Amino acid sequence: MACPFSVTSRQAVCEALTHRDLGVRPAHEPVPPALLATPAHPIFASLVRMRDDGVQPELKAAIGAALDSFSEDDIRQTTIKVAQQLATRLSTAEQLTRFNYSLPICLLAEMLGVAVRQRDALVDEVMDFVRCIAPGGSTQQMISGAQAAGKLQIRMQQADGPLFLRLSLQIGDRSLAEANAIGLFFQACEGTAGLLGQTLLLMSHRSESAEYLISEVLRQTPPIHTTRRFALRDTQLDGQALVKGQCVTIPLKTAEESFAFGYGVHQCPGSHWAKTIALAGIDYLSALNFDPSLLSYFRWRISQNAHVPEFYTAKEHNNDCGDF
């Protein structure tokens, strides 16, 4: 869906993200038509990120409480354990790209209770699912994503890890907990991979600490750089008229402020998880002493809203080094 309306100032971004006449989905289309009657349909409709009904605040509080019940040290130790399972050494740029996407997914898998042997397939399924939920998916991506949703649902039906048990307890409804556990994979994957990749790039030419450079990426080039809202009725935004159904693109970085983790009722409840995973991941990668030339070539992920460098091995005579 085209988004012809956009805002730019800090004040207009705050207004848009707290506007009572703007919703995360168009009023007449709570689920994208391409996902109707597919396994992705009930999952999409259950996601805290995709609803503005009376259940959302309670669901959000339950997910927040489950996430907050783990300490920074729990997350850090588990991230290191998972990083060791993923890579004891990195020899190609493609392996580094895969590591960056896999780390947040496999950390959540470990805590939700998905067996190590299932995780390679799980990463592929999450990557497919992300494509059908994020804006701008092609027909083929919607089909693959919907199939992946079915497989993720089966995996979550067997989940019994500590994060899943706390989500279930807090939410009080197993199938709603399963859908929102799948939602955590979706929410964590591109943002955290972008934070990891962009911080590695900054580290290659700056000497400040990884912790500082992570906050610098979040301040200057947020890995999720835009979000969308839809007018639920005719209304006004930033002094201009909006008609019912109109889509608004909202930048998460303005000249005055960065909203890297959003703002208002849909603000990210996993920001401390994201920063801890990224820092533990960078510390782990730094200790591996991987060849810095793995960072030489990258392209930005094809995405309407995520800024994720994808490292690759250059073929001879290819001067495309990315632009950072």
Query: What does the binding site for ligand HEM look like in residue numbers (CB under 6 A)?
Result: 48-49, 60, 63, 67, 104, 183-184, 187-188, 191-192, 195, 223-224, 227, 252, 260-262, 266, 268-270, 273-274
Residue 247 Cβ vs ligand HEM, minimum distance, rounded to whole Å = 13
Q: Among residues 132 and 297, whose Cβ is nearest to ligand HEM?
A: 132
Q: Which residues contact 12 (CB under 8 A, 6 or more apart)?
A: 237, 238
Q: Among residues 273 and 290, whose Cβ is nearest to ligand HEM?
A: 273
Residue 316 Cβ vs ligand HEM, minimum distance, rounded to whole Å = 35
Residue 87 Cβ vs ligand HEM, minimum distance, rounded to whole Å = 20
Residue 281 Cβ vs ligand HEM, minimum distance, rounded to whole Å = 11
Give 189: exposed, middle or buried? Use CB within 10 Å, 0-12, 13-18, 19+: buried
Residue 133 Cβ vs ligand HEM, minimum distance, rounded to whole Å = 12
Give residue 262's region: left, alpha or beta (phi > 0; psi -120 to 50): left
Q: Among residues 110 and 297, whose Cβ is nearest to ligand HEM?
A: 110
What DSSP line would sit under 23-85, residue for residue?
ESS-TT-SS-GGGTTSTHHHHHHH-GGG--STTHHHHHHHHHHHHHTS-HHHHHHHHHHHHHH
CA distances from 10 to 15, 24, 173, 220, 306 (A): 9, 19, 38, 14, 20
Which residue lies nearest ligand HEM, judged by its C-beta?
270
Residue 324 Cβ vs ligand HEM, minimum distance, rounded to whole Å = 17
Q: Among residues 131 and 229, whose Cβ is nearest to ligand HEM?
A: 229
Separation of alpha carbons 60 and 66, rounded Å: 10
Helix 162-171 with 56-68: angle, nearest 10 deg: 150
Helix 119-133 with 174-203: angle, nearest 10 deg: 90
Residue 38 Cβ vs ligand HEM, minimum distance, rounded to whole Å = 22
Q: Among residues 189 and 297, whose Cβ is nearest to ligand HEM?
A: 189
Q: Among residues 96 and 195, whose Cβ is nearest to ligand HEM?
A: 195
Separation of alpha carbons 99 and 119, rounded Å: 12
Separation of alpha carbons 53 and 204, rounded Å: 45
Q: Among residues 224 and 242, whose Cβ is nearest to ligand HEM?
A: 224
